[in-house]
Amino acid sequence: MKAKLEQITKVALEAIEAATSVDHLNDVKVSYLGKKGELSKLLKGMKDVAPEDRPKVGQMVNEARAKIEEQMEEAKTSIMKKIREEKMKKEVIDVTLPGTKVNVGHRHPNQIALEDLERVFIGMGYEVVEGPEVEYDRYNFELLNIPANHPAKDEQDTFYITKDILLRTQTSPVQARIMETGRMPIRVLSPGRVFRSDEVDATHSPSFHQVEGLVVDKGITFADLKGTLQQWAQEFFGPETKVKFRPHHFPFTEPSAEVDITCFKCGGKGCRMCKGSGWIEILGCGMVHPKVLKDCGIDPEVYSGFAFGIGLERVTLLKSEIDDMRLLYENDARFLKQF
């Protein structure tokens, strides 16, 4: 029996040594250590061994099993190591090869201008809020002191979904929505897309963007409005920029003004950019009309406020010196890449 055991062990160890893969090793394991393997077969012969010799034979079989198992583990480790080394050799990276070029997009000129603009107002403590593009007539017109039959409604003809629901013509309805919440004081900036029934040309589009500003608190005056816009213009267009307020009319502000800035190209001397005048019209603004405050649930005897509306495309075109608004919507990568 001893000779047989030594023979099995010898052959098993040889088979382990000859194995070149983990699968091979597993086969060896099954045929020598498995339930129907050589060692099990040998143990079946125990009944023919004299009872006093059985513990010794049992110990020998266990030793042989341990030896085979140990060799097997070692062989497995060395095979795995070899596989890993070969894999690493195959996967060597040639860092001198040219890489695959990834085309990364970048921000649209409108977005660049908007983020620059927002940064200035956020610095002054404004919060950025957004309102719906599909709006009720009540917010877009009625609460802004533009009742049915008001001529301003003709100038801002739009796309109606029903008689009372439309695509907003301005971002000013966000003013009414914010005031209605009753939270005071108010200091918000509201950028967004607006719609008008306009023909497309170099300065018009049926869909464009505005940035609305609104401040309401106790004791807000026209001086606050002037100081705020002056500060913005200098930070946004350059420290030399001057602002000029021209009287104007908007139904929802009283008094109202249009604001011009000195041309940042020529500094006010007159050039192609400002059409020789030295000034560039930039936005509409005014003190919130007491009727608008009242209709939105704010007591005009206690509170006052100012508002302004900036045409985002206008500012983008000026800042990036683009002379046709249509270029902003065509999404030609060759154009957009330049900003």
Please provide the DSSP assignment of 79-118 as one string.
Answer: HHHHHHHHHHHHT---TTSPPPPP------HHHHHHHHHH
Instruction: Please state, in angstroms and rounded to a whole number, the distance separating the CA atoms of residues 188 and 209.
Output: 17
Q: Residue 284 interacts with ligand DAH (CB under 6 A)?
A: yes
**Binding of ligand DAH by 212 (CB under 6 A):** yes
* CB of 332 vs ligand DAH, minimal distance in Å: 28
Q: Choose among 331, 329, 336: nearest CA to 313.
A: 329
| Rounded CA separation 268/266 (Å) | 5
Measured between alpha carbons, how far is residue 300 from residues 124, 227, 290 in Å? 24, 22, 5
Q: Please tell me whether residue 253 binds ligand DAH under the rule CB under 6 A.
A: yes
What residue has token string 């309805």?
173
Establish if 285 lies at the interface with ligand DAH (CB under 6 A): yes
Nearer to ligand DAH, 11 or 124 (CB): 124
Distance in Å, CB of 291 to ligand DAH, minimum? 14
Q: Please list, in sequence order, all residues whose beta carbon lies within 8 angstroms of the beta carbon of residue 80, skipping any fewer than 6 positions away.
A: 22
In this chain, which of 166, 293, 307, 318 binds ligand DAH, going by CB under 6 A? 307
| The one among 9, 170, 262, 316 contacting ligand DAH by CB under 6 A | 170
Nearest-5° Cα angle at 72, 71 to 73: 95
Piece in contact with ligand DAH (CB under 6 A), picked from 32-40, 86-94, 266-274, 280-288: 280-288
Query: Residue 260, interface with ligand DAH (CB under 6 A)?
Result: no
> Does position 305 bind ligand DAH by CB under 6 A?
no
- Give the binding site for ligand DAH (CB under 6 A): 170, 172, 212, 250, 253, 284-286, 307-309
